[in-house]
A and B are shown apart, each in its own frame.
Chain A
Amino acid sequence: MTVTVLLFASYADAVGRSTIELDLEAGATVQDVVEHVRELGGAKRLPPAPMVAVNEQYASRDRELRSGDEVALIPPVAGG
């Protein structure tokens, strides 16, 4: 299955891109996505347990993903 990973702000700078398409095994979780992304060049600067949103809602590490999900890695927010 395929999921779309979105990166923002400092995470996008670290990895050098803001969107990644990932092919994953069925049953893959948010944690699997984080590990895949951290294997990319530059991504070692990402924390091991970033905040994550799935389809625009904050999600836990063990959340199981479905094909077509949008998984966003959320750097510490700094609005206001």
Chain B
Amino acid sequence: MYSAIVEHPIDVAALLNRVSRSANGAAVLFLGMVREMNDGRDVTGIEYTAYRSMAERELATIVAEAASLAGTDDIAVEHRLGQLAVGECSVAVAVGHPHRGRAFEAARYVIEQLKQRVPIWKREHYVDGSREWVAANNSAPSALVDAGGDR
């Protein structure tokens, strides 16, 4: 298990490497990226800040919970702080598991819990020069999973 709050670009290949073992038939990599538009406004970049010591602690707790739920210790996550441009990666979650189902579930668990519990905030910078703290995270229901079942 590995989790970190970092201030440098996330090396996603290195993160994936942390969870890759010959016993694992699946590896899932989730990346959160800075989007060019939010609520209809053109975004030029996002500034991330955190209550860093608590964020590190909370992130480690979430990874441990996911490991326990999914039955794998091959979980690695990094969240980046600082000024990020559109298209840059703000968060990466990698999970390795013998089977894909648990790998997907664990990755989903980590990113959803992170968005609800880890004390990180973002301030969007807009094309018109203004900037605003983003109020909160919207939940993202898993309609595909509900509709599609296990294929």
Contacts and interface: CB of A to CB of B under 8 A. Distances in A.
Interface in B42-82: 48-51, 53-55, 57, 79
A75 B115 contact: no
B133 A9 contact: yes
Contacts, number: 73
A79 B51 contact: no
Contact of A72 (B54, B121, B133, B134): B54
Nearest to B81: A79
Interface of B: 32, 48-51, 53-55, 57, 79, 90-91, 111, 114-123, 133-137
A53 B137 CA distance: 19
Which secondary structure characterizes the binding site on chain B?
mixed
Contact of A77 (B32, B57, B117): B117
A20 to B, nearest CB: 15
Interface residues of A, number: 17
Contact of A79 (B48, B133, B135): B48
Contacts of B111: 80
Interface of A: 6, 8-10, 13, 53, 56-58, 72, 74-80
A10 B133 contact: yes
Nearest to A58: B117
A11 B136 CA distance: 13
Given A9-B133, A76-B135, A79-B137, 13 more contacts: A8-B49, A8-B50, A8-B51, A10-B121, A13-B133, A77-B117, A78-B121, A78-B136, A79-B120, A79-B122, A80-B32, A80-B114, A80-B120
14 contacts: A9-B133, A10-B121, A53-B51, A57-B54, A76-B136, A77-B115, A77-B119, A77-B120, A78-B133, A78-B137, A79-B114, A79-B115, A79-B120, A79-B137
